Structure 1
Amino acid sequence: MKKLVLVAAMSVMLAGCDFSHTSPQTEAKATAVNAVQSIASVEKQLPDWIKDNTVTSPLEAIVMGGHTYDAVSFCKPHDCASDFMITLTADNNKKYSMIVHVKDVPDALNTPSIYATYQYIGQPDQQVKSVFTQALSQNPNWQ
């Protein structure tokens, strides 16, 4: 009987707990998965690493032209310096992405921007492209 009362008491305690709070890492991962799925449905010519698992990290919010953009960086596992993507979510919830591929040459270690190619998703205008440039500048290794 004591065991039954103990189990019932524990069930009541657990039922009252709020498990809805998520950690920032969990929220970032959920945002990443959502962004990748929405982009993948729009763009068929994406690299395979974007459709599979990616490494994510939130960047600082960027304010430009009266708009605030939340930025998240995604990268190819074990190759973040050469293949990565930045996704911006505007204050009107419109998403834009920029996929960056850096050519695998020795000089790219010092000046990756010279060896980079860019693919834009979501038809960003020139202002949004400037926000991408600002997001890139948050990376201390980007020159």
Structure 2
Amino acid sequence: MRPIIISLLTLCLATPALAQNGTYTTELAHSPKFAKAYQEMTHLPAWVTGTDAVSVPTKSITLAGHSYIVGHVCKPHDCGDNQLEIVFSDNGKAAWGLLSRVYGKTVYQMPLGEPDATILDALQASYRANNPN
């Protein structure tokens, strides 16, 4: 009798999860139940969008004959684990970033603004320059 009760409880607990199977991800992400969590997941951290980030002086660089400005910002009181490298086009019409987060000993990096390979290399070089260890 006991194994039957455990099986029934397992089936009852699994039923809500099974109800989500087959739903398209975009439908789920924009449904009232999941929309808030989805939108919060896609926001940049407040330290990136605010003005309180710690920053360093920018540097001018030339890539493939074009001028750019490279900058670096990090989260106040947690710079080692939360950083953003930024490359601005010299004319100010475009910007790309590399958001870096450290969890334990692993560095996770997310490019922002769809940088091409040359810009991504510059972002990664900036990260290495600001993290020499």
TM superposition score category, shorter chain reference: 0.5 to 0.7
Written as runs of structure 1 = structure 2, the 5 A alignment for 1:16-55 is 45-52=43-50, 53-55=52-54
Distance (Å, rounded) in 2 between the aligned partners of 1:92 and 1:51? 21
Query: 1:84: how far off?
Result: 0.9
CA-atom RMSD in angstroms: 1.8
TM-score of the aligned structures, taking structure 1 as reference length: 0.55
Distance (Å, rounded) in 2 between the aligned partners of 1:132 and 1:138? 10
Deviations 1:2-56 (A, max 9, x none): xxxxxxxxxxxxxxxxxxxxxxxxxxxxxxxxxxxxxxxxxx5201222332111
Task: Could you tell me which runs of 5 or more consecutive residues in structure 1 were left unpaired when the two chains were aligned.
Answer: 1-43, 109-114
Structure 2 CA distance for partners of 1:59 and 1:120, relative to 1, 3 Å: same
Structure 2 CA distance for partners of 1:92 and 1:59, relative to 1, 3 Å: closer
How many residues are aligned here? 90
Deviations 1:59-106 (A, max 9, x none): 432222212221111110001111011111123421111111111x2x
Distance (Å, rounded) in 2 between the aligned partners of 1:48 and 1:137? 24
Written as runs of structure 1 = structure 2, the 5 A alignment for 1:3-14 is none
Distance (Å, rounded) in 1 between the aligned partners of 2:111 and 2:54? 19
Distance (Å, rounded) in 1 between the aligned partners of 2:109 and 2:58? 19
Determine the structure 2 residue equivalent to 1:122.
Answer: 113
Q: Which has the higher contact order (CA 8 A, sep 6+)?
A: 1
TM-score of the aligned structures, taking structure 2 as reference length: 0.59
